[in-house]
Amino acid sequence: MIPIIDKLPTYDKRIIVTGAAGFIASHLAIRFVQNYPNYYIVTYDKLDYCASMRNLDSIKDAPNHKFIKGDLLDYTKLKSVLMEEKIDHIVHLAAQTHVDNSFGNALTFTENNVLGTHTLLEAARECGNIVKFVHCSTDEVYGTSIDKDEPSGEDAALMPTNPYAASKLAAECIVKSYLTSYNIPIIITRGNNVYGTHQFPEKLIPKFIIRLIKGQKLCMHGNGSNKRTYLYVDDMARAFDVVLHKGEIGKVYNVAGPHEYTNLDVSKLLLSMMKPDEDPMDHIEFVDDRPFNDVRYNIQDNAIRALGWRYDVQLDEGLRRTVNWYIENWQTHWDQDITTALLAHTRMMGDGNKLSAITLDAMTD
C-alpha cells in the first residue's frame, strides 16, 4: 500500500491575515512573511476600493505566502480556506474604517464589520483548530467617555458615537461571546489612529499630503481642535506581532501612540515639511465639521507594554517617511481614480474596483 503523504510543507504556524491588501494588514503580512520564514501566511482580501495588490508586492513571490481573493461574507469559501490551508492562527483586520463614509453608508459598515466578523468566527468554530484569534478593534469604541485628562484603560465604559465605532463595538461583543460560548481563543486590540505608507488617501494625513502635492489647500474639519494620538504603521504591526505571540487569551490590549496632536497641529507639521518657507495658514481652509466628531481618544496601554511592546517612531519622523512615500507612489499605487477621496467630505462605497462619492452637502440637502 502506498502511504498517504501530506503535501503541505511543515510550518510552525499557519496564519491568515484578513484585509491584507489594505493598509495596516499589508504591513503586518509583510512583517510575518519576512521575519518568520517558518510561518505560512495566507493573505485574504476582497479587494475593495481602499485595497491594492501593490501593497503586497514585496512578498508576492515569497514561498511562505499565498494570497486568496475572497469576501468575509462568503462562509463557504472562508471555511474552505481555513480547513484546506490548515490555518491555526487568525489575525482579523478586514473592516470598513473611514468614519466619514459611515455617516452616509452605515449599513455597509454593519454588514462588513459585524456580519463579516461573525462569519469568520463561525468558520473558525467549524474549523476547530484555531490556537489564537486576534481581532483588531479601535479606540473609537470608547467614544466621548474618555474626554478627560486621565487616560482610560481597557475596562473603561464603551460609548461609541458614530456608525463606524458602533459597528466595531458590535463586532467585539460577538467576538467575546465566542470565547465564552465556544472557547474560541480570542484577543482584542484597540489602537489609536494609525498612519503611514499604503494608506488609502481618504484619511487625514495621506489626503493632506496629496492635496499639498497637487497644490490644493488643506480642508480642515471644524476649527481643527479635535485631538488624535497617532501611531506609525510599523509600530502597530509590531503590536500585533507581540499580541499574537505573547498576548493572553480573553484580554483586550490598548495600543497607544506617543503624543496627542490636534488636527491643526498635524497640518502645520506637514506644511513645515512640504512648504517650509510659507505661512501655513495660507494653505488651510476651514470647512464644515462631521455630523459628530469626538474630541479625543485618550487611552493608556500598560497591558501591552507589559508584554514588551513600545512605540518607536515619533510623529515627525513617521510623517517624513510617509510624505516621501506618497511623493513617489501616489499617482500609480491605486488602480482607480482617487480624486473623490481627496474631497473635504467624501462618501465612498466600494463594489470591487468601482467607486462612487458624494459630498456632505449632497447628503444633507
List, by residue number, the catalytic residues: 139-140, 164
Element spanning 357, H or E? none
Alpha-carbon dihedral sign for residues 45, 312, 159, 178 = positive
Rounded Cα distance between 37 and 60, Å, is 14
Residue 136 corresponds to which cell in the numbers above? 483588531
Helix axes 233-246, 23-35, angle to 10 degrees: 60
The C-alpha cell at 33 is 512573511
> What are the cell numbers at 184?
474560541
How far is it, in rounded angstroms, from Cα 169 to Cα 164? 9
Find, among 72, 68, 46, 80, the residue nearest to 171 by Cα. 72
Helix (H) or strand (E) holding 258: none
**Residue 92 φ then ψ, to 5°:** -100, 105
* Class of residue 165 by CB neighbours under 10 A (exposed 0-12, middle 13-18, buried 19+): buried
Whole-angstrom distance, CA of residue 202 vs CA of residue 208? 9
**Alpha-carbon gap, residue 71 to 73, rounded angstroms:** 5
